[in-house]
Chain A
Amino acid sequence: MKLTELPDARGHFGPYGGVFVAETLMAPIEELRLAYERYMRDPDFLAELDADLQHYVGRPSPIYHAERLSRELGGAQIYLKREDLNHTGAHKVNNTIGQALLARRMGKTRIIAETGAGQHGVATATVAARLGLECVIYMGEVDAARQEANVYRMRLLGAEVRTVSSGSKTLKDALNEAMRDWVANVDNTFYIIGTVAGPHPYPVMVRDFQAVIGREACEQIQAMTGRLPDALIACVGGGSNAIGLFYPFLGDEQIAIYGVEAAGDGLETGRHAAPLCAGRPGVLHGNRTYLMEDVDGQIIETHSISAGLDYPGVGPEHAWLKDSGRAQYVTITDEEALQGFHRLTRTEGIIPALESSHAIAQSIKLAPQMTSDAILLVNLSGRGDKDMHTVAAFEGLKL
């Protein structure tokens, strides 16, 4: 079976994906799967989605030739897919608008979501406000404390932010809590998952909503340069911006694909968030995929300077792309990501999110090894405004 034809009917990408949930969740997941399969073929729904992507999100996002950066590096030409220019400042909204429109079609009046750094929470609260839906966001207590501005932003948008004090008090615990809410309130509630993980149909549904990134980029790069890129680069936490860029290119085997995981303090320290590069397969949050776990199968805490990459699992399609060899997964440390952050900011006047800075850092490593007529297409998944405090703190400044 071709890579682009996955997953199978039950959501499997090779041995990964699937539906690993308690019986209490089977009915809501089945209801969602049927609705997703129906509306993704409904021209009326797709037209509504397209209109919102154009007029509300601001799509298509441009691609931009980072000429100064490319010249300095002395190798491949670097092109950036500008998801940072979307409404709310990142790719996340492509998915939340899709799922919220689906929720409305299903007659749901209440939206819930989990969030780590708050980006997915803000993108969800935004579309809930736009559609007049009640919205509850679950956020780990630790994350809420380090992302106060986003908590305030969500509240401004009318969402209720519930902090979660169980477990490690971070993203994975927020996800557990959101699942519980969903089970208890399934009649009127739609759960918007922010990445390509979770039980089927979430990984494929979120991919389909994010694939607009790659579809646009494929046309744009050809219009601009007359050909397809030689390599794609995107950062991978759960992996939604990456799969969004990669998916439409999977069939073009000559295009190299690089997913960049967070090496945190370095893989050798154990303080990282790189399940594909340093974890092993297991089952968490409804799907089989690569995980960060201890010898007993307990999920361990992750670390990255970028909160959006700080997750112990990864989308099952990435697990399969890794095993099949179609994509290569590499890592970038906190320090390298920060260098990438500064370099793009100073050479191009574009401040990238710390997540996206991992992809930028990988392009800085890769470009000099390529010829100057080669093309590197990098997903600039979000803007860095949200990271001012983190970057300043790293440099010993307080804003």
Chain B
Amino acid sequence: MSRIENCFMALRTQGRTALIPFITAGDPGKEDTVPLMHTLVAQGADILELGVPFSDPMADGPVIQRASERALAHHTSLHDVLEMVRTFRETDADTPVVLMGYLNPIEVMGYQAFAEAAAKAGIDGVLTVDIPPEEGEELLAALRVRHIDPIYLLAPTSTPERIRSLTASASGFVYYVSLKGVTGAGNLDLDAVRAKLGEIRAVTGLPVGVGFGIKDAATARAMSEIADAVVVGSAIVSLVERHADDPEAIRKAIGRLVGEMRQAMDTE
């Protein structure tokens, strides 16, 4: 059983919802990422999502795009990201880590070489934004052989047919995003999300994470009532941006936010 499956199973028995914070690797500096990952875990993160910087992050909003730009200013590469996870694993053997990024850096490394290096580094899931399963059989096979979960996005416009084919290729969990399309946008319409989650769950038994509109403890709690996982990206990355010249302040600020979310989500 994968670390991700284990994690969701344990949470389910405890009646809790997973908290999945996102940061971009190498933002603001390469040396900041591993300590930030440990901070997030200490404050109650169940799974970590680590963004692999890309020069053209088409599916991301301005906040995450600027994080990519900061990380690329000192050439944070896919190799660097794998090395960060390897270092993180030296002192944390349990917390699942999911990479989120775009296909081109993986193409350049080669699917087999990437999957092997990712497995060796201790990566548990890979969400490649711009490769739908129809184009991705070879990458999927390379990941599966090494027990890495392929994670897929679902959108409000995903048809039941499409949800079926995506979830057939996915493992670990699926990630429901807003149509405002780009990360970091939009207001939360809980009823609409609840309805769509019903559609998704009618098709798959995989846990469903929701990844937009979660800004603070209150929105995290509200979402935790209906989703299996709450993914928090832009709210955290905004804090990284605000304190970009002071790593200690970043740790404090995002630690506080994630801690508050955790507490609100776990309160009866």
Contacts and interface: CB of A to CB of B under 8 A. Distances in A.
A293 B135 contact: no
Nearest to B130: A20
Interface string A1-42: 000000000100000001111111111100000000000000
A179 B102 CA distance: 15
B108 interface: yes
A24 B157 contact: yes
Interface string B134-154: 110000000000000000111
Contacts of A284: 56, 104
B107 A180 contact: no
B54 interface: yes
A284 B54 CA distance: 11
Contacts, number: 121
Most buried by A among B58, B134, B158, B159: B58
Given A20-B103, A284-B56, A27 B158 contact: yes
A251 B20 CA distance: 55
Contacts of A297: 54, 78, 104-109
Taking residues whose C-beta sits less than 8 angstroms from the other chain, chain A's interface range is 35 or more
B166 interface: yes
A211 B61 CA distance: 36
A281 B72 CA distance: 21
A180 B177 CA distance: 14
Contacts of A286: 130
A24 B69 contact: no
Most buried by A among B57, B177, B179: B179
B219 interface: no
A296 B132 contact: no
B65 A167 contact: yes
Contacts of A326: none
A298 B72 contact: yes
Interface of B: 54-59, 61-62, 65-66, 69, 72, 75, 77-79, 102-109, 129-132, 134-135, 152-155, 157-159, 162, 166, 177, 179-182, 185
Given A23-B177, A183-B180, 19 more contacts: A18-B135, A20-B130, A20-B132, A21-B132, A24-B153, A176-B57, A179-B58, A180-B58, A283-B107, A284-B104, A291-B104, A293-B104, A296-B79, A296-B108, A297-B54, A297-B106, A299-B55, A299-B56, A300-B55
5 contacts: A19-B132, A21-B132, A22-B181, A180-B59, A296-B75
